[in-house]
Amino acid sequence: MTCAWLCMADGTRFEGLAYGAPGHTVGEAVFTTGLTGYQEVLTDPSYCGQLVTMTATQIGNTGCNAEDPESTDDRPKVGGFIVRDASTLTSNWRASESLGAYLERHGIVAIAGIDTRQVTRHLRDRGAQNAAIGTGNPDELVDRARSAPSMEGLDLTRRVTPASSYAWTEGSGAWLPLHGVPGAPPREGKAERHVVVVDLGIKRNILRNLVDFGCRVTAVPSTAAASEILALEPDGIFVSNGPGDPAAVTTAIETLRELLGKRPMFGICLGHQLLALAAGARTFKLKFGHRGINQPVRDLVTGRVEITTQNHGFCVDLESLGGRARSTHVHLNDGTSEGLALDDADAFSVQYHPESAAGPHDSLYLFRRFVERIDARRGAS
């Protein structure tokens, strides 16, 4: 294997081995603590523009397959991939190709043989920052990292939002048997509730869960106007996850501001942040973010602690809410915002991912809460 470098904007350099596609790549270096689900990480649109460090030591031993992508177009969305031990052995009954071949086929530049614990400690101490991966001169890679635009101020949703509206009908029943799970959750009634999804880079499993809970789903691009969404006559509106700085997604913020109170609304991750911004709150960038499948969150209403999957680098400033929204969930590690309720507007949101396919399922009740609000609104009309 060829020598390669991971070079940070602060000048720090890590030597490793070229992996995946040839060439170089630049993006924000981050880390995720999940022990499983590397294909879900690779294909999560929220990682668009980022070089993702896997803290789990060995990556690639179960290969890749055609069933696990989280992006609706099945393609990886990360800007680059950083691993310690790239397994040369692929052993899983569902695998169709090795991780290395998968990365190369999709043009994803990666680096292996890196001490990912050292990289993670560096990012925790210095903060997430731009970096470059490549086989060229490390001095030039440092320059590339330093000249790349900061994640703050970037609207990356336009890279991952669909070009046009589409209908989604697949539920978890078509997916769970592939993972050896006996049976599948029955759909909770016919798909009578029409939910319009503002697709800012949505994950497949969110769409599947909406279908499972009895929703007929129509997804629209992030640029859809409020009038276009209301013209579809939705019973509820869902605001998806996605990449980049939430404050930069100005078109969607204005759209959501117009929609607040018109229909029951539910937001996840970026959707949580955009609903807060639409209500007049502010967001800020975390030092190194929350990424992994073991993040503890307390429900302030019930006192229950949920183990959650998360992937975000920005957060809602709770002090900026000014009574316009109610905090419902907080992160137990740092006290940051994990859930909001806009009671007057019949809207709620969470920062974490209740649908996570490669993580815990403590929070699936949120989808039921959404459809119950839709039913309550329809029953009152």
Return the active site residues.
Answer: 269, 353, 355
Q: In the beta sheet, which residues pair with residue 13?
A: 7
Question: In this structure, which amino acid lies at residue 277?
Answer: L
Quote the Cα angle for 226-231-237, to 5°. Answer: 60
CA distances 116 to 5, 82, 120, 365, Å, are 13, 8, 6, 35
Burial 168-198 (b: 16+ CB within 10 A, else e): beebbeebbeeeeeeeeeeeeeebebbbbbb
